[in-house]
């Protein structure tokens, strides 16, 4: 019996060791892939000052301190950090491997603002004095420059990094299926956890709209299937029934609700296949808007 237990223990430890070794090899491979982004030659004769350093979700706080939490929330895999110098210009390069295009978009969108100056770089980028950030594939790239000519160097460096990243799947495909009319540009978001403070609404995409001086927001929760979406709608219905008021929105079809409370305000909600659709601050024409959303998801 003890001999059998020992054999099982050895087998288990061997499997764990193999798994850890595999993860180490994979991490090393990803780091080598990221290092190629900063291989010579770099624009304007720029050189790395001390080589690149790497951080993961377990130690990202050592570099970012209080700013690490949101990156961990969005699933950061690796940060490659490097300091460059080209004559009088100092540049800080931070390349975040977020593991997947959706989560890379999520953290990028969380840090952008509709009022930024946007650029055609990668999937999308934005720039203001001494800073240029862009999204491409599973990467979120952040560049900071100091000194005369910094902005010009950031332009050249971003183009080179984008070219070396290569693949560019664009924005999450779901966003293209949502209504374009009255959409506030650059307002789209991806929320991986607890939209509006509710775990059952995650993950979700959010888009802001404006019409007739009224802003409203669409939240699209991605469930595993239609039954799961309906289950989440029931949870939402129960939440409003206990915190405010909730009634059927029969004009939108069976199961749809119209609800309100003092926290979320008024909402319309329904399901469409695997999606739970939630409209915040509905007004005149909201029923037709929801029908358009549902039709786009067919």
pLDDT in tens, 72-114: 999 999 999 999 999 999 999 999 999 999 999 999 999 998 8
Which residue, among 232, 233, 178, has the nearest Cα to 206 in the 3D structure?
A: 178
Write down the CATH number for the domain with range 33-165.
3.40.1000
pLDDT at 24: 54
**DSSP-assigned letters across all residues of 152-211:** HHHHHHHHHHHHHH-----S-HHHHTS--TTBPTT--EEE-S-GGG-GGG-SEEEEEEEE
184 confidence band (pLDDT: 50, 70, 90):
very high
Using one digit for the tens of pLDDT, what is the confidence trace for 37-76? 999 999 999 999 989 999 999 999 999 988 999 999 999 9
Give start-end residues of each CATH 3.40.1000.20 domain in the chain: 173-296
Say if pTM beats, i.e. exceeds, 0.85.
yes
- Min mean pLDDT across 13-22, 226-235, 236-245, 251-260 is at 13-22
Instruction: List all residues 6 or more positions away from 56 whose beta carbon is below 8 Å from its beta carbon.
Output: 27, 76, 77, 78, 79
Q: What is residue 28's predicted lDDT score, i.e. its pLDDT?
A: 86
173-296 CATH fold: Protein Transport Mog1p; Chain A (3.40.1000)
Is the per-residue pLDDT at 161 higher than 80? Answer: yes
């Amino acid at each position: 019996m003890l001999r059998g237990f020992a054999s099982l223990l050895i087998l288990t430890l061997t499997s764990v060791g193999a798994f850890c070794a595999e993860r180490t090899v994979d991490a090393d491979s990803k780091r080598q892939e990221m290092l190629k982004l900063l291989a010579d030659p770099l624009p304007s004769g720029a050189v790395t000052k001390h080589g690149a350093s790497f951080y993961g979700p377990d130690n990202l706080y050592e570099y970012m301190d209080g700013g690490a939490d949101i990156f961990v929330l969005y699933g950061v895999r690796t940060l490659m950090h490097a300091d460059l110098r080209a004559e009088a210009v100092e540049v800080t390069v931070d390349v975040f491997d977020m593991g997947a295009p959706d989560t890379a978009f999520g953290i990028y969108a969380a840090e952008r603002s509709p009022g930024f100056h946007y650029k055609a770089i990668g999937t999308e980028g934005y720039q203001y004095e001494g800073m240029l950030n862009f999204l491409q594939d599973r990467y979120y790239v952040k560049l900071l420059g100091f000194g005369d000519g910094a902005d010009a160097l950031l332009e050249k460096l971003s183009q080179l990094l984008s070219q070396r990243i290569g693949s560019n799947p664009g924005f999450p495909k779901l966003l293209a299926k949502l209504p374009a009319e009255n959409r506030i540009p650059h307002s789209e978001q991806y929320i991986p956890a607890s939209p509006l403070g509710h775990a059952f609404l995650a993950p979700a995409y959010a888009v802001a709209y404006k019409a007739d001086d009224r802003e409203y927001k669409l939240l699209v929760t991605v469930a595993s299937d239609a039954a799961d979406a309906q289950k989440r709608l029931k949870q939402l219905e129960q939440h409003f029934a206990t915190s405010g008021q909730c009634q059927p929105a029969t004009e939108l079809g069976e199961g749809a609700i119209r609800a309100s409370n003092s926290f979320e305000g008024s909402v319309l909600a329904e399901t469409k296949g695997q999606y739970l659709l939630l409209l915040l601050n509905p007004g005149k024409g909201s029923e037709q808007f929801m029908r358009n959303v549902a039709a786009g998801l067919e």
